[in-house]
């Protein structure tokens, strides 16, 4: 794994009975990760040792983590040819993935990764790459793809599509802004200050454009950035906790701590609203402490909505700039005014 020392610096972290875990540091980017390679036994009782072993290894590290290899078990009936019953081993494998908070990416183009015999009388998806939520947050458009199978009865799979750069996104109004103190009054003040001349629809369009500019400026400041607010609050709380270890806090300091805790609770509520909006999981209520769930759903939407290849003039193209250009040209042609309407 990671054989090019010009790109990666690696070391073995742990060797278990069924797994090897390595730590890697990119020499080209600010990125560190852990990768665990697994070869699990066929017996589901023996596989329990694998789940326990890997769970223990996970406790030794932080940050992005991927676990890959031959698990010798599928998650679902559809992943095993001619299978009609979901076994205990399948359920325990799925439970392990959920307990470890791993993301099981969809495998592109193929259903199975292992085949028995020339006639493929048996086939199943027992090979996969599982990634942690931290890895999913770091990269965009991750997916598992099959590679060419030559001699082995297993199809090699690769994790690809992770982009280091984030594309420029269009402006979005965040629902949690409405929970910010003074936000609505500030918007009213901005709106009243705009003055344009022309037809009513033109003036409205100009005012909306000007308001968007103001909202972007506000969003980029501390009031509009939940990450900055969280960091500042936690630093202030940490300072007070450090003081409390040495002495009793004064009444003023205790009151300040209570105020900071209240602000932190409000911040958590805003984060839940934000991730709920991004996930579009409308069946869950705000305030149900589902931030991690919303986050996971939002990442899944991001992968699903991505267009990483497009047929252009009969040829499959994966160049982002060409894909973007072709989509723009398509809609230009689609909405171009026909001469017969003039």
**Residue 245 included in any domain:** no
Residue 169: per-residue pLDDT: 57
For residue range 171-225, list pLDDT tens digits in order: 788 888 888 889 999 999 999 999 988 888 888 989 999 999 999 899 888 888 8
Inter-CA distances, 303 with 141, 205, 293, 298, 300, Å: 5, 33, 16, 9, 5
The residue out of 104, 133, 160 marking a domain boundary is 160
Handedness of CA 312, 318, 323, 325 (dihedral sign): negative
Phi, psi of 34, deg, nearest 5 = -125, 140
Q: What is the CATH number of the domain that holds 78?
A: 3.60.10.10
Q: Return the higher-pLDDT residue of 149 and 239.
A: 239
**Residue 142 included in any domain:** yes
For residue range 272-317, list pLDDT tens digits in order: 887 777 665 444 444 445 555 555 555 555 555 666 678 888 887 7
* Closest to 18 in 3D by CA, of 73, 64, 63, 61: 73
**Residue 254 included in any domain:** no
**Residue 65 included in any domain:** yes
Please compute the mean of the pLDDT values over residues 16-33 and round it to a whole number: 89
Q: How many CB atoms lie within 10 A of CB 70?
A: 15
Please compute the mean of the pLDDT values over residues 110-131 and round it to a whole number: 88
Residue 38: per-residue pLDDT: 96
| Local confidence band at 334 (pLDDT 50, 70, 90 cut-offs) | confident
**Residue 151 included in any domain:** yes
**Residue 290 included in any domain:** no
pTM: 0.53
Residue 157: per-residue pLDDT: 93
**Residue 189 included in any domain:** no
| Local confidence band at 342 (pLDDT 50, 70, 90 cut-offs) | very low
241-277 b/e (C-beta count within 10 Å ≥ 16 → b): eeeeeeeeeeeeeeeebeebeeebeebebbbbbbbbb
* Closest to 274 in 3D by CA, of 227, 208, 215: 227
The residue out of 160, 177, 205 marking a domain boundary is 160
Inter-CA distances, 17 with 38, 89, 163, 235, Å: 10, 19, 34, 42
CA distance 262 to 306: 39
For residue range 148-174, list pLDDT tens digits in order: 877 788 999 998 865 544 455 567 888
> Vertex 53, ends 107 and 132: CA angle to 5°?
40
Number of folded domains in the chain? 2
Print the domain residue range for 118: 8-160
CA distance 281 to 293: 9
Please compute the mean of the pLDDT values over residues 71-99 and round it to a whole number: 93
The residue out of 160, 187, 211 marking a domain boundary is 160
**Residue 316 included in any domain:** yes
| Local confidence band at 50 (pLDDT 50, 70, 90 cut-offs) | very high
Residue 301: per-residue pLDDT: 54
């Amino acid at each position: 794994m990671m054989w090019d020392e010009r790109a990666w610096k690696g070391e073995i972290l742990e060797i278990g009975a069924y797994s090897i875990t390595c730590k890697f540091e990119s020499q080209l980017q600010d990125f560190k990760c852990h990768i665990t390679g697994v070869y699990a036994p066929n017996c589901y009782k023996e596989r329990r040792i694998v789940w326990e072993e890997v769970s223990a290894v996970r406790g030794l590290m932080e940050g992005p983590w991927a676990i890959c290899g031959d698990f010798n078990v599928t998650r679902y009936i559809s992943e095993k040819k001619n299978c009609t019953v979901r076994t205990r081993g399948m359920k325990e494998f799925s439970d392990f993935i959920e307990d470890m908070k791993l993301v099981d990416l969809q495998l592109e183009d193929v259903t199975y990764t292992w085949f028995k015999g020339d006639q493929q009388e048996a086939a199943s998806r027992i090979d996969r790459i599982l990634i942690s939520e931290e890895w999913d947050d770091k990269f965009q458009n991750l997916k598992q793809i099959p590679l060419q199978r030559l001699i082995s009865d297993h199809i090699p799979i690769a994790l690809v599509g992770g982009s280091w750069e984030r594309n420029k996104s269009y402006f979005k109004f965040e629902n949690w802004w409405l929970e910010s103190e003074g936000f609505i009054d500030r918007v009213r003040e901005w709106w009243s200050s705009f003055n344009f001349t022309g037809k009513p629809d033109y003036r409205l369009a100009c005012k909306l454009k000007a308001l968007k500019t103001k909202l972007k400026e506000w969003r980029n400041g501390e009031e509009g950035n939940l990450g900055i607010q969280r960091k500042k609050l936690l630093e202030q709380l940490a300072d007070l906790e450090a003081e409390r270890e040495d002495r009793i806090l004064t009444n003023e300091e205790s009151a300040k701590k209570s105020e900071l805790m209240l602000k932190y609770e409000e911040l958590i509520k805003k984060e839940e609203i934000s991730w709920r909006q991004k996930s579009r999981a409308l069946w869950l209520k705000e305030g149900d402490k589902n931030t991690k769930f919303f986050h996971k759903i939002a990442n899944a939407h991001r992968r699903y909505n991505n267009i990483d290849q497009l047929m252009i003039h009969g040829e499959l193209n994966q160049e982002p700039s060409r894909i973007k250009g072709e989509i723009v040209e398509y809609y230009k042609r689609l909405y171009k005014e026909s001469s017969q309407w003039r």
